Copies of this chain bind each other. A is one copy, B any other.
């Protein structure tokens, strides 16, 4: 009764970035602001590095929820960008679902704000439709750890897999020899402790 290893594949994955908006991010309290910003941008760098189709969406960006993080917009200038007129669950927006399905991919990598709503609702809907869903827990934020744990429990019970941005990158990369410099640059840029190792190594190697 062994279980198939459902492994991320750069030719079958799509990235969904849901509601990373300036106002909503101010509600995030299960990470420090420094950590959360770093995690979100690291996931974006990974999506871009592996040329994964990426879909952005926002909720009421002209109201209190505020505009999408500008670095994300700049990173994916040509990505589908769905400003939802009111649907809380992005999967209730037909343009969003169409954009996902248009990629033809079956592995959804999702992150968003807040975890219990903007991530959980589309995750549950996508699982129902047979997608594999990988929730990037450290690029998704919410009010406090209890809320996070409740939401993650709900998603795991429905079949989602929990990952962090670093594991997502490594599972896509497979082998360091597939562009070691490019992948190393992402790690160095988002893991200061890894950058320290590279700096010490580099100096010692001289």
- Chain A positions within 8 Å of B, measured between CB atoms, are 1-5, 7, 22-23, 25-27, 29, 32-38, 59-67, 69-70, 85-89, 92, 114, 116-117, 120-121, 124-125, 127-131, 137-138, 143-144, 146-147, 149-154, 156-159, 161-164, 166-167, 170-171, 173-178, 180, 191-201, 203-205
Distance to closest chain B CB from A168 (angstroms): 10
C-alpha spacing A147/B165, complex, angstroms: 9
Measured between beta carbons, the chain B residues less than 8 angstroms from A164 are 116, 143, 146-147, 150-151
Bound together, the chains give a CA A85 to CA B174 distance in angstroms of 12
How many angstroms from the CA of A143 to the CA of B169 in the assembled complex? 15
Q: Are B192 and A60 in contact (CB under 8 A)?
A: no
The 4 closest A-B CB pairs, nearest first, are A204-B204, A150-B162, A64-B197, A66-B200
Q: How far, in whole Å, are A9 and B144 apart by their CA atoms in the complex?
A: 25
- In the complex, what residues of B have CB within 8 A of residue A34's CB? 32, 34-35, 38, 192
Residues of B within 8 Å of A37, CB to CB, are 192
CB–CB A85/B22 < 8 A: no
B contact residues around A66 at 8 Å (CB): 196-197, 199-200, 203
